Amino acid sequence: MNKPLAGHPRAPADHPATPRYKYRPVCFPERRTLVERRPDGTLLLRSDAPANKIPQQGLAGFLPDWAERRGASAAFCERDAQGAWRTITWTELWRQVQSVAAALLELGLGQNRPLMLLSGNSIEQAVLLLAAEYVGVPAAAVSPAYSTISRDFARLKGVAELVPPAALFVQSAASFERAAVIAVDGATAGQHAWSTLAATALTPARLAALDRARAAIRPADTVRVLFTSGSTGVPKGVAIAYSNLNAVTAYHAENLAALVERQPVFLDWLPWHHGLGGVANFARAIVLGATHYIDDGRPVPGLLQRTVRNLREVSPTLFNSVPSAWSALVTELERDPVLARSLLANVVSFGYGGASLPRDVFLRIQRVAEQTVGEHIVFGSGLGSTETTAMGVSCTWATDDVGNIGVPMPGAEIKLVPLDGGDGRYEIRMRGPFVFSGYVKRPDLTAAAFDDEGYFCLGDAVRLVDPADPARGLVFAGRVVEDFKLANGTWVRTGAVRLALIDQCAPLISDAVICGHDHNYLAALAWPNLAGCRALAPELAELDAQALVQHPLVVNALCECLRRQGSQGNESASLSVQRLMLMAEPPSIDANEMAEKGYVNQAATRARRAHLVEQLFHAEPQAHVARTR
Contacts of residue 13, Cβ cutoff 8 Å, sequence gap at least 6: 32
Instruction: Report how far residue 274's alpha carbon sits from residue 385's, in angstroms, rounded to the nearest whole number.
Output: 9
CB 182 within 8 A of CB 167: yes
Contacts of residue 215, Cβ cutoff 8 Å, sequence gap at least 6: none
Q: Which candidate, 44, 50, 49, places its Cα nearest to that of 471?
A: 44
Instruction: Report how far residue 368's alpha carbon sits from residue 376's, in angstroms, rounded to the nearest whole number.
Output: 9
pLDDT at 220: 95
pLDDT at 8: 32
Instruction: Report how far residue 24's alpha carbon sits from residue 5's, in angstroms, rounded to the nearest whole number.
Output: 10
For domain 483-627, give the fold. GMP Synthetase; Chain A, domain 3 (3.30.300)
* Percentage with pLDDT > 90 across the chain: 67
pLDDT at 609: 95
Instruction: Characterize 145-164 residue by residue with b for buried, 16 or more Cβ atoms within 10 angstroms of its Cβ, and e for exposed.
Output: bbbeeeeeeebbebbbebbe
Question: What pLDDT digit, counting tens, does each position of 374-385 carry?
Answer: 999 999 999 999
pLDDT at 6: 29
Question: What pLDDT digit, counting tens, does each position of 394-415 carry?
Answer: 999 988 888 899 999 999 999 9
Beta partners for 525? 513, 581
Q: Provide the Cα torsion 201, 203, 207, 208; round to 10°.
A: -150
pLDDT at 156: 81
Compute the average pLDDT of residues 311-337. 93
Dmax (CA) of the chain: 78
Decide: residue 476, CB within 10 A, 0-12 exposed, 13-18 middle, 19+ buried. Answer: buried
Q: What is the DSSP letter of 407?
A: E
CA atoms within 13 A on the CB side of 313: 15
The overall average pLDDT reported for the chain is: 89
Residue 190 — φ and ψ, nearest 5°?
90, -10
Helix (H/G/I), strand (E/B), else coil: 81: coil
Instruction: Report how far residue 33's alpha carbon sits from residue 413's, in angstroms, rounded to the nearest whole number.
Output: 10
Residue 469 — φ and ψ, nearest 5°?
-145, 90
Helix (H/G/I), strand (E/B), else coil: 550: coil
CB 431 within 8 A of CB 453: yes
Record the pTM: 0.84
pLDDT at 481: 79
pLDDT at 180: 64
Q: How confident is the model at residue 157 (pLDDT cuts 50, 70, 90)?
A: confident
Q: How confident is the model at residue 617 (pLDDT cuts 50, 70, 90)?
A: very high
Question: What pLDDT digit, counting tens, does each position of 547-605 carry?
Answer: 999 999 999 999 999 998 876 655 566 788 999 999 999 888 667 787 645 678 888 89
Task: Decide if pLDDT at 17 tops 70.
Answer: no
CB 338 within 8 A of CB 312: yes
Chain-centre distance of CA 345, in angstroms? 24
CB 250 within 8 A of CB 120: no
Q: What is the DSSP letter of 276?
A: I
CB 238 within 8 A of CB 387: yes
